[in-house]
Amino acid sequence: MEVEISGGVPQGSVVGPLLWNATFDSVLKMPLPQGAKLPGFADDTLLVVSSKTVEELEALANYALRLVEDRISNLSLQIAADKIEAVLFTQKYKHGTPNIEVGGKTILLTKKMTYLGMIIDGSLFFKEHMQSASAKAEMISTQLARIMPNVGGPREDRRRLLSSVVHSVLLYGAPSWAHTLNGLTSFLVM
């Protein structure tokens, strides 16, 4: 039986990540206009554009997106426009809404986005991320606590393992959101 494969790398491929990195590296290292950056991790790419006005932001973001889209299409790859999320980070109470387009499709702005497992909201307070992480940690803690009696009870080493798993879930991405706790530290210490 023959199956025609038009693109991609099989999941679990040993050389797949290496081939992806070699291919996509040219996109991540491409020169972009000042005010635009393109960080990425594996196949999760993030275009960060900063500007003083919404009009400048719109022009710069659309220009940078066209450059990225051209580079990606030159690699015979496509951008999944339906998976794109866009969030406007601003401290202004009143602001316009930039019109962002990729591949002729308008990208709607949302109040939050998920990137590398973190929920990032427009205010950068990470409130929803904290709620999600604490709910996930509670669920994991409950599930692990249920199996404790089946493995000989809560000995110290098992409690330490349970604690470290819960801490890992709670502290995921802490370098990104820890600054939001600065106002609370004096309250928490007292």
Q: What is the pLDDT of residues 8-34, one digit of tens each?
A: 656 777 887 888 888 889 999 999 999
Kindly report the backbone phi and psi dihedral angles of residue 72, in degrees, each rounded to the nearest multiple of 5, phi listed first.
-65, -40
- Average predicted confidence (pLDDT) for the chain: 83
| Helix extents (H) in 75-181 | 127-147, 156-170, 174-177
From 99-108, 130-139, 146-155, the region with the lowest mean pLDDT: 146-155
From 60-74, 75-89, 170-184, the region with the lowest mean pLDDT: 170-184
Element (H or E) spanning 66, and its range? helix 54-74
- The 10 Å Cβ neighbour count of residue 57 is 20
- With H, G, I as helix, E, B as strand and everything else as coil, classify residue 46: coil
Q: What is the pTM of this model?
A: 0.75
CA gap 106, 7 in Å, rounded: 26
Residue type at position 88: L
Q: What per-residue confidence (pLDDT) applies to 1? A: 74
Tokens read off for 60: 């710069």
Residue 53 or 7, more confident: 53
Has residue 125 got a pLDDT over 50? yes
Has residue 189 got a pLDDT over 50? no
Residue count of the chain: 190
Q: Which of 8, 4, 86, 89 is nearest to 43 (CA)?
A: 8
